Structure 1
């Protein structure tokens, strides 16, 4: 995925129908403890993705898909990582891919995410990751992160350090907005001022704000939307999602 810093204390839209996974249960519980793994079910892909493990001096992470039933996901990831304190070690996540709709054509992005986190000396975040490209099949140019939780001073990519470029209220919660480069991709990160372990709302207002106030083109195409956790360091950490759903209308 990407490198993140620590803040001390710190194709046109081709479908009119909503991008909504089917409401079936079609996979059994699965656990991965190697570097990578994935599973497709009901239009989602579950990713076990320890992409930054090489930055750690020691550690391991396992991800478990529990169930998908009646439109809702249950999954968890357990990890211990040491060393490389300013580097993300993984992004285990659930992804809705090949959305291929222009931002201007999206009517709503309803989502629900109930989660909890435990662990010792934990530095981590809990975040949505929304990707935008100029057209279907093109490389992503914008990454939109929505941080529902942050622990131990974890902070987003920022070209202004720990100073946000804006503070705003969306879905009844306050968010600090950061911006920074990651290669040729521009990353915008909305960081909640408090942890939101029971989140339910519409993600479209985040994109609308960026198109109206930050110059993100509404003609760009949404390619994939992910939801997961990024660990930096910590011991015996367990991230548990009891219910997760997302659709694009």
Structure 2
């Protein structure tokens, strides 16, 4: 049974700010060059920027990203993309906090703040989300993915069930938390509705 308390705990376990970047980064230059190739990734302190273009074969276009700054536990990056053809995810550029490898019960909080902006020309299908992966044991292979959507631009989560209009059928809805209203899709995606 999935309770609201568990949902609240999961939402608070966003994966980005558990560990502070090491002071050693100050002695190395930050790679701010633009990267565009499938599989490109680069490390900055305790973080890695990934150009996850796993669905690029289902369309044409590109996705490019670059780190713009790193100061203490604050990291900034930009992503530009232009994809065409069909539905489905083409790329999912993301920042990863490296080396967490802790049992969930050992994590009391993950303080996190996210400032983002999106500008577009034309029709955009995208989301802004925290993406948390869990494993059976610390350091093990990913077994579960939990997404917490902060913004939704005409995208829809993958769901185990859909309504007649094609929208995801929520397991729970109208959950008020942190000033927003959420719903829980059965595949562990938590998009905000406002």
- Which of the five TM-score ranges fits, normalised by the shorter chain? 0.7 to 0.9
| Counterpart Cα distance in 1 of 2:101 and 2:178 | 25
Q: How does 1:42-53 map to 2 (within 5 A)?
A: 42-53=45-56
Asked if the contact 2:129/2:149 (under 8 Å) is kept, the reply is yes
| Counterpart Cα distance in 2 of 1:47 and 1:192 | 24
| Structure 1 residues not aligned, in runs of 5+ | 1-17, 181-187, 195-249
1:247 corresponds to:
none
Higher strand share: 1
CA RMSD of aligned residues (A): 1.6
2:184 corresponds to:
177
Relative to the length of structure 2, the TM-score reads 0.80
CA deviation vs aligned residue, 1:88-110 (integer Å, no higher than 9, x gap): 01111100132111111111011
1:79 corresponds to:
81
2:170 corresponds to:
164
Structure with bigger RCO (C-alpha 8 Å, 6+ apart): 1
| 2:105 partner SS | helix
2:144 corresponds to:
142
| 2:57 partner SS | helix
CA deviation vs aligned residue, 1:103-144 (integer Å, no higher than 9, x gap): 111110110110011222111111111011110343222111
Aligned residues: 167
| 2:67 partner SS | strand
CA deviation vs aligned residue, 1:193-233 (integer Å, no higher than 9, x gap): 12xxxxxxxxxxxxxxxxxxxxxxxxxxxxxxxxxxxxxxx
| 1:64 partner SS | strand
| Counterpart Cα distance in 1 of 2:72 and 2:106 | 27
Say whether residues 1:101 and 2:108 are aligned partners.
no
Relative to the length of structure 1, the TM-score reads 0.63
2:71 corresponds to:
69
| 1:81 partner SS | strand
| 1:144 partner SS | strand
| Counterpart Cα distance in 2 of 1:28 and 1:146 | 28
CA deviation vs aligned residue, 1:160-186 (integer Å, no higher than 9, x gap): 222211122222322111122xxxxxx
